[in-house]
Structure 1
Amino acid sequence: MTTTHVAAPPKPRVAAPSGMSIGDLARRPETGALIGTISVFVFFAIFGGGQFLSAGGAASWLNVAAELGIIAIPVGLLMIAGELDLSVGSVLASSSMTVAIVSGYWGAPVIVGIVAALLLGLVVGFLNGLLVTRTGVPSFIVTLATLFGLSGLTLGLSRVITGTTSVALDPGPQAKQLLGTLVAGKFEVAIFWWIAAIVVIGWLLHFSPWGNWVFAVGGDKESARTTGIPVQGVKIALFTASAFGAAVVGVIQSILYNSAQVANGQSFVFNSIIAVVIGGVLLTGGYGSVVGVVLGTLTFSIVSQGIYYTGWNSDWAALILGVLILAAVLMNNTFRRMALSYAPRMKKKG
C-alpha cells in the first residue's frame, strides 16, 4: 500500500484588524513615531491640564507643527534619499526678506514679492542639488556652506538696500487671507497648506513610481543608476523641493507678522532634522514615510509648546525639551530594531 503524505498547512499569522500581519505593522517606519506622539500628548495632557487641551493650547502646537512640517516633509524625502539640507534656515530668512524688500520697501505688488521669494528658494535648491550631484562633495558640506553664504549675503544686501536688518510689510487683505491669517483667532492658515503638502507629497512618495525612485536612491544609488533611475535628477528635484518648502514658510511668516528679519529661520535647520528623525527616517537613507515625518513633527511641536502649560520654571524648558526628544528618538530606534528582528522569527514560525 502506498501512503500519501499530506503537508501540514502553515501556521497562520496573527493579523492586525486591517489584514496586515503584526510583523508587517511593527515594521512600518511610522509605528514608533505614533507611540512617541501619543506618549508626549498624554504626558502634557496630564501635566498641562485644561489649558493644554483647550483650543488655544491645540493652536499653539499645531501652528508650530504646520510651519515646521512644510519644511520637514521635503527634508524628510531628501533624507530618505540619503542626503541632508542644512540651508533651509537661510533660505527661509532670505525669502522672507525678499518679499519684504520687494513689496514692503520698494512698494511692488505683493504677488511680485511672493513670486520673487519663491523663485529664490527654487534657485538655491537647484544649485544645492547641482553642486552635490556634479562635484560629489557631501550634501552636509555643500548645504552648510549655503547656510552661511546665503545668511551673509542676506545680511549684507539688507543693510545696503534698506540700511536695516528688519523690514516692515503691509501685504494687504487678500495675501493675508491666503497665507497669513488666523482662523477663529487662533489657528494659522499654514495648517491647511501643511495638510495639502502631506496629501500631495504622501501620494508622490508612496503611490507613484517616483516614490520608488526616492527609496531606491537612498537604499543604493549605484544599483538604482544601473536600473535606469535618473539619480541626479531625483536628487536635484529633492533639494529644490526642500528649499522651496523653506521659502514658502518664509513668505508665510513675513505676511503673518507684517515684517521680516534676517535672523529668522535658523532654528528650523536642526528642528526639521529632529522632527524627521523622530518620525522614523534613517539618517543613512532608504527608510521612512510621510506619515512618520508628520508624527515626528507633531511630537516635536507638542513637546516644545506643551512645556509652557505645565507651570514649570521656563528656565528648564530647554533641558526638558532635550531630554524628552532624546527619549523619543531612542524609543523609536529601539522599537525599529525590535521590529526588524521580528521578521526572521515570523518566517521560521511560518
Structure 2
Amino acid sequence: MGMTQHAEPAVSSPPASGPGKVKDGRTAERPLALRLLARPEVGVFLGAVAVWVFFLIAAPPVRDGSSMANILYQSSTIGIMALPVALLMIGGEFDLSAGVAVITSALTASMFAFQLTLNVWAGIVVALLVSLAIGFLNGWLVVRTGLPSFLITLGTFLILQGVNLAVTKLVTGNVATDDISNMDGFDQA
C-alpha cells in the first residue's frame, strides 16, 4: 500500500518590493539620519567637527589662517603614519616597526646626502627605497612564514633600532647625524 502525498496549493504572497511590500518590523527601512549615524566614519567626522568648533570658540588665535596652516601641517605628520597603520589594523594586522622605520628613513636620507655631499633629494630617493624594502621584507615574512605580524614587526623594530644606533655611531662617531639644513635641496624637500 503506497502513501500518496498531496501538495498544498501555494499561497500567493505579496511582492518583496514595490508598493505592495509587507513591512513586518524586521525589514522596515530606517530614516536616513539613523542610517548615517550608524556609520563609524560619520561619528569620527562629527567628533572632529566638535573639536574644531570648540577650539574656534575657546581659542581665538586658531581662527587665523597661519594658525590653521600650522595645525594642518602638524596633523599631516601624524596622519601620514596613522593612515597606513589604521589600514593594517582594519585588515587584522599590526606594524610595531612603523615608528622606528620612519627614523631609519630619516637617518638614511640625511646620512646619505651629508656623507656623500649630494643633493638632499638624492638622500630622499635612497630613503624611500630603504623604506619600501623594509615594508616589503615585513610583508614577505608575514606571508611566507605565517607568523603573526606582531612578532615579525617586533623583530624588525629591534633590528632597525640596533642598526640605526650602530651605523650612525660608526659613520658619524655619534648617535645623531650632522645638520643638513644648509645643503642643496633642503628648502624644497
Match of 1:47 in 2: 58
SS of alignment partner, residue 166 of structure 1: coil
Q: Could you tell me how far 1:57 is from its partner in structure 2? A: 2.4
Q: Please name the residue that 1:24 is paired with.
A: 35
Matched ranges for 1:62-77 at <5 A: 62-77=72-87
Deviation at 1:44, TM superposition (A): 2.0
For residues 150 and 63 of structure 2, what CA distance do their matches in structure 1 show? 39
Query: Residues 10 and 51 of structure 1: is their aligned pair in 2 closer, same or farther, counting only changes over 3 Å?
Result: farther
CA contact (8 A) 1:105 1:168 kept: no
User: SS of the counterpart of 2:118?
Assistant: coil
Distance 1:38 1:58 in 2: 14
Q: Distance in 2 between matches of 1:112 and 1:46?
A: 45
Q: Which residue of 1 aligns with 2:132?
A: 122
SS at match of 1:83: coil
**Percent of residue pairs identical:** 36
TM-score, normalisation: structure 1: 0.44
Cα gap change, 1:168 to 1:105, in 2 (>3 Å)? farther
Which structure has the larger Rg over C-alpha atoms? 2
SS at match of 1:113: helix
Gaps of 5+ in 2: 1-11
Shift of 1:82: 0.9
Alignment-mate amino acid for residue 157 of structure 1: V
Task: State the one-letter code of the partner of 1:34.
Answer: F
Alignment size in residue pairs: 168
Q: Is the 8 A contact 2:111 2:177 kept in 1?
A: no
Question: Which structure has greater helix proportion?
Answer: 1
Residue equivalent to 2:95: 85
* TM-score, length-scaled by structure 2: 0.77
Matched, 1:100 2:102: no
CA change 1:14–1:106 in 2 (3 A) is same
Residues 225-272 of structure 1: CA deviation (Å, up to 9, x unaligned) = xxxxxxxxxxxxxxxxxxxxxxxxxxxxxxxxxxxxxxxxxxxxxxxx
- Retained in 1: the 8 A contact 2:61–2:67? yes
Q: Distance in 2 between matches of 1:110 and 1:37?
A: 36
Distance in 1, matches of 2:50 and 2:100, equals 33
Equivalent runs, 1:58-207 vs 2, <5 Å? 58-164=68-174, 165-169=176-180, 170-173=182-185, 176-177=187-188, 179=189
CA displacement at 1:10 relative to structure 2: 4.9
Q: Deviations over 1:58-102 (max 9, x none)?
A: 123211111122222222221221111121111111111111111
